[in-house]
Structure 1
Amino acid sequence: MTEIIALDGDWRAAHPLPKIESSSDKNSRGRVLLVGGARFVPGALALTGEAALRAGAGKLQMATVEAVASPLGVLIPEAAMVALPMREDGEIGLEGVTVLADLVPLCDVLLVGPGMSATSDTGTIVRGLLSLSPPALLLDAAALTCADPCELAIAAAKLPLILTPHHGEVARLMGCDRHAVTDDPAQMLSDIICQTGAFVALKGPETWIGGPGTPILHFTGGCPGLGIGGSGDVLAGIIGGLIARGTSPFVAVAWAVAIHGAAGQLAASEIGPIGFLARELLPRIPRLLETL
């Protein structure tokens, strides 16, 4: 099996984030295009979008169903909003790919999935966005569970691909029993990488990180309070923000996991071990980028 290394302070010191020059502006820190949400789950996109900005991305575009695009834009005034066609069930319609066709090539990273459900159209939407050849693609939540590993492998041969599944999502993606993930997460991580060619954060009480040609990183610095709705949306946003500002995918995933875990520990110490909210992680991200 691939070498397993602890994701700790020594690893971070050996793999620092790219420095932000004092003369940098929003254009030099990159653009995140975030696609997701639904009529009944609009808030997930807000968590991911704010996390991307807190991690240092210069520009943010959020594309979601037309029924909630304007209110979401008021909630995140720093973002440009894109209204997408909506199905009767409140999910993004297939025509959304056409709306995004001109925007995808202009972003630095395309992040798809927060707040989406696994509908009959989700896989088709993911394939359509893949065909637009984004500079880098992060799939989260339903967007990755509705993808086909073979199609992902074809995409990963052309562009950096990042997947952020929890155990249940891995089981669906790989067509295996959840116990197979729980019993040997490091081996499962290797299997996902082998079949998809992606950089992967396999989330759980302990997080396992790897990608093509990399060692496996093992992170144990989280806390039970991070097991709450919206926590994964924040993690995805941090990854997207770091990639937008020029961090390589593997380093971005690892640092995002460390920052997310440290934010959880801070919230646990200040608020309580259980009961802090995913949105309470967000203000802690910028300082942790420096102190870690």
Structure 2
Amino acid sequence: GQAELMTEPIADRDGHFDGAHAPDALKMLLEGKNVLIVGPGIGLTDDTKRLIEWLISDASERDRAMLIDADGLNALAAIGCEALKRARGPVVLTPHPGEASRLLGVKTTAINDDRISAARNLAERTGSTVLIKGSRSVIASPDGDVYVNSTGNPGMSTPGMGDALSGIVGAMLGQHMRPLDALALGVFLHGYAADRVAQRIGRIGYIAGDLIDELPAALEALSK
């Protein structure tokens, strides 16, 4: 276990969110919070879809930042990504090409053929700031701004790397950074920390925990 993690039990059914009762508990947990990360580890069930629908509905009434990743994106694809335009606060989406293909209803090859256009299209359809992951990750804002990230290496293709990125970007959103700035800096820092790890211990075999451990030193180095 990890002693630093602060958790709160939520009603579940067969190991997944209980869509009938989870919103009541979440209402209390979300009071006073200014950013929400939803999706990593949540699973994909009918209850999950109902939870995402409730969160989008709740977001239409609150000026809270929300980052959606992993199975949160798959649930969103089942609901229809245009629903996000109802959100009052900023929304960030962080799909890999397969998740982006489901959100846009096109083949993954079409995403990979032109990730800049795909990111712009998804940002326009949802009113969200979008990251499409991969080598030279692409970031697009609803205003049409596009960034292409320069950091990172192939050793990052291991489990948990995307979850670490969601946490980094979520932390920056929680400091009231603009979504585009939070994504650009977060993705750059994520890859920069990985590059430092790869240079120190090798490009193959490091894991997400190694990257996370490197974050304080990487951030310090960027601050000098």
Query: TM-score with structure 1 length normalisation?
Result: 0.71
2:23 paired with 1:84: no
In the other structure, the counterpart of 1:248 is: 178
Q: Report the residue type matching 1:161 in the other structure.
A: V
Aligned residue runs from structure 1 range 1-292, under 5 A: 75-77=2-4, 79-88=5-14, 90-94=15-19, 95-133=21-59, 134=62, 135-147=64-76, 148-155=80-87, 158-292=88-222
1:130 shift after superposition: 2.1
Q: Is the 8 A contact 1:123 1:146 kept in 2?
A: yes
1:128-174 Cα deviation digits (max 9, x unpaired): 1222235111101010121121211222xx11000000011101111
Q: Gaps (5+ residues) in structure 1?
A: 1-73
Q: Secondary structure at the match of 1:111?
A: strand
State how far apart, in whole Å, the 2-side matches of 1:215 and 1:289 are: 25
State how far apart, in whole Å, the 2-side matches of 1:272 and 1:261 are: 15
State how far apart, in whole Å, the 1-side matches of 2:51 and 2:197 are: 36
State how far apart, in whole Å, the 1-side matches of 2:72 and 2:3 are: 23
Q: Secondary structure at the match of 2:46?
A: coil
Are the structure 2 counterparts of residues 86 and 178 from structure 1 closer, same or farther at C-alpha, using a change threshold of 3 Å? same
1:59-117 Cα deviation digits (max 9, x unpaired): xxxxxxxxxxxxxxx5143x4321011121x2222121211112223101011011122
Q: Gaps (5+ residues) in structure 2?
A: none
1:271 shift after superposition: 1.8
Q: Report the residue type matching 2:70 in the other structure.
A: A
If each structure's helix is expressed as a fraction of its own residues, which one has the higher value? 2
Aligned residue pairs total 215
Q: CA RMSD for the aligned pairs?
A: 1.4
State how far apart, in whole Å, the 1-side matches of 2:3 and 2:142 are: 35
Q: What is the percentage of aligned positions where both structures have the same residue?
A: 33
Q: Is the 8 A contact 2:131 2:137 kept in 1?
A: yes
Q: Is the 8 A contact 1:84 1:99 kept in 2?
A: yes
Displaced runs of 4+ in structure 1, greater than 4 A?
Answer: none
State how far apart, in whole Å, the 2-side matches of 1:246 and 1:140 are: 19
Q: Report the residue type matching 1:194 in the other structure.
A: E
